[in-house]
């Protein structure tokens, strides 16, 4: 994998997305090789002055859980108030071990944790907006008020939360880079390739790997 050299500066942020136990091997919604991102993220984080972290933070009985819809299986789709919604296994339930950040993450400089998906009736993939595409998490305002300009996105899963976070970052006017070596995808019915194509079209820079200058 070809690595590009990066030199983070004071207007850059490393955005670490949903590296939680339930998305890692053994978790309720495990992303294949999800824990492989941890050492890569730790290596990158050592070079960033500014780090922001997100967590999926669902209520019990969340609308996006298949268990909340008798007769529907995980990974099927239903129509909800804001459109089509994939139904997931119960995951990242508030104050459970599955919702905790992976214990191997070393992010002592993390300045903010954004919790998303805590409204029972609305799922949330993006670090910027809930899935109704109208309800903000507050991250955009925080980044602008702090004067940040460029985001490096890493984490889980590449084809869902990383994708929507990166695309929304571009819509919010931030230069946005996704470091693929620090991400893993679910690849649900071709969602991985679709995500990569969509991010490119949205103006997101895809970087296979990165090393610090």
Q: What is the pLDDT of residues 131-142, one digit of tens each?
A: 999 999 999 999
Positions marked active-site: 18, 116, 161
Tell me the pLDDT of the chain averaged across its residues: 97
Q: What is the pLDDT of residue 140?
A: 98
Residue 1: predicted pLDDT: 66
Q: Which CATH architecture fits 3-59+91-212? A: 3-Layer(aba) Sandwich (3.40)
Q: What is the pLDDT of residue 109?
A: 85
Residue 197, SS3 per DSSP: helix
Q: Which residues of the chain have pLDDT under 70?
A: 1
Distance, in Å, from the CA atom of 92 to the CA atom of 139, rounded to the nearest integer, reads 20
Q: Which residues of 46-82 are buried (b: 16+ CB within 10 A; e: fewer)?
A: eebebbbbbbbbbeeebbbbbeeeeeeeeeeeeebeb
Residue 105: name the closest of 31, 142, 55, 170 by CA: 55
Burial of 150 (0-12, 13-18, 19+ CB in 10 A): middle
């Amino acid at each position: 994998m070809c690595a590009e050299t990066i030199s983070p500066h004071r207007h850059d942020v490393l955005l670490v997305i949903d590296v939680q136990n339930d998305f890692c091997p053994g978790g309720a919604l495990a992303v294949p090789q999800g824990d492989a991102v941890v050492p890569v993220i730790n290596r990158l984080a050592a070079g960033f002055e500014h780090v922001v972290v997100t967590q999926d933070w669902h209520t019990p009985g969340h609308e996006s859980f298949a268990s909340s819809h008798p007769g529907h299986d995980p990974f099927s789709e239903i129509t909800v108030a804001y459109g089509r919604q994939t139904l997931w296994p119960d995951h990242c339930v508030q104050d459970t071990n599955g919702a905790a950040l992976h214990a191997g993450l070393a992010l002592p400089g993390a300045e903010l944790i954004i919790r998303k998906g805590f409204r029972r009736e609305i799922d949330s993939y993006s670090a910027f907006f809930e899935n109704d595409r109208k309800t903000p998490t507050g991250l955009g305002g925080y980044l602008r008020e702090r004067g940040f300009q460029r985001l490096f996105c890493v984490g889980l899963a590449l084809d869902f939360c990383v994708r929507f976070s990166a695309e929304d970052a571009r819509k919010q006017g931030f230069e946005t880079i996704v470091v693929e070596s620090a991400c893993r995808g679910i690849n649900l019915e071709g969602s991985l390739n679709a995500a990569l194509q969509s991010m490119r079209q949205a103006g997101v820079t895809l970087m296979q790997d990165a090393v610090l200058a």
